[in-house]
């Protein structure tokens, strides 16, 4: 029977357990900070793209809560348009003009795709932030 000794395995297991214990809290903090960055970028894009300063559109751009995506279990967060700007989807995707009495005028207002353009522009920043976060999480394992 061959005997072999592995030194440092206990330290590695302890460190791995520490990372596993602190991982959910750190991921939640990271996702919330990334969501806030995306929200700020979306507001900046909306200011420059939409151009009109009427209504509550900018006040309605919000960051959601951290959640586990049901499809694949990935950590997720979203930025959306909500109260008091219930008309956010009209600005995003476009709409047909309607008078106050409900009559259609036949004019179509094209959408600005603020959320989609902001998300596309934020993608490279997010990837870099994820790499730095992964390095931060795995640093205790490299002792």
- The full DSSP string for 11-64 is HHHHHHHHHHHHHHHHHHHHHHHHHHHHHHHHHHHHHHHH----TTTTTTEEE-
Other CB atoms within 10 Å distance of the CB of residue 7: 6
Mean pLDDT score, 117-131: 94
Percent of the chain past pLDDT 90, that is, above it, reads 61
Is the CA virtual torsion 68, 69, 74, 78 positive or negative? Answer: negative
**Sorting pLDDT into bands at 50, 70 and 90, what band is 127?**
very high
Averaged pLDDT score across all residues of the chain: 86
In this predicted model, what pLDDT tens digit does every residue of 17-62 receive, in sequence order?
Answer: 666 677 888 889 999 999 999 999 999 999 999 987 767 999 999 9
Res 11: pLDDT: 66
Assess contact for 117 and 48: CB atoms under 8 A. Answer: no
pTM for the whole thing? 0.80
Tell me, what's the pLDDT at 66? Answer: 92
What is the mean predicted confidence (pLDDT) over 67-93? Answer: 91
Rounded percentage of the chain residues whose pLDDT exceeds 70: 82
Q: Does residue 95 sit in helix, strand or coil? A: strand
């Amino acid at each position: 029977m061959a005997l072999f000794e592995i030194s440092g395995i206990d330290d590695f297991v302890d460190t791995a357990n520490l990372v596993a214990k602190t991982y959910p809290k750190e991921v939640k903090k990271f996702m919330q900070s990334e969501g806030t960055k995306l929200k700020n970028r979306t507001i900046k894009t909306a200011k420059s793209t939409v151009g009109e300063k009427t209504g509550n559109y900018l006040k309605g751009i919000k960051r959601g809560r951290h959640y586990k995506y049901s499809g694949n279990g990935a950590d997720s967060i979203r930025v959306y348009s909500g109260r008091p700007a219930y008309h956010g989807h009209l600005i995003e995707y476009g709409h047909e003009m309607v008078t106050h009495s409900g009559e259609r005028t036949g004019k179509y207002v094209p959408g600005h795709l603020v959320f989609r353009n902001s998300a596309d522009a934020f993608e490279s920043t997010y990837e870099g932030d994820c790499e730095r976060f992964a390095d931060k999480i795995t640093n205790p394992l490299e002792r």
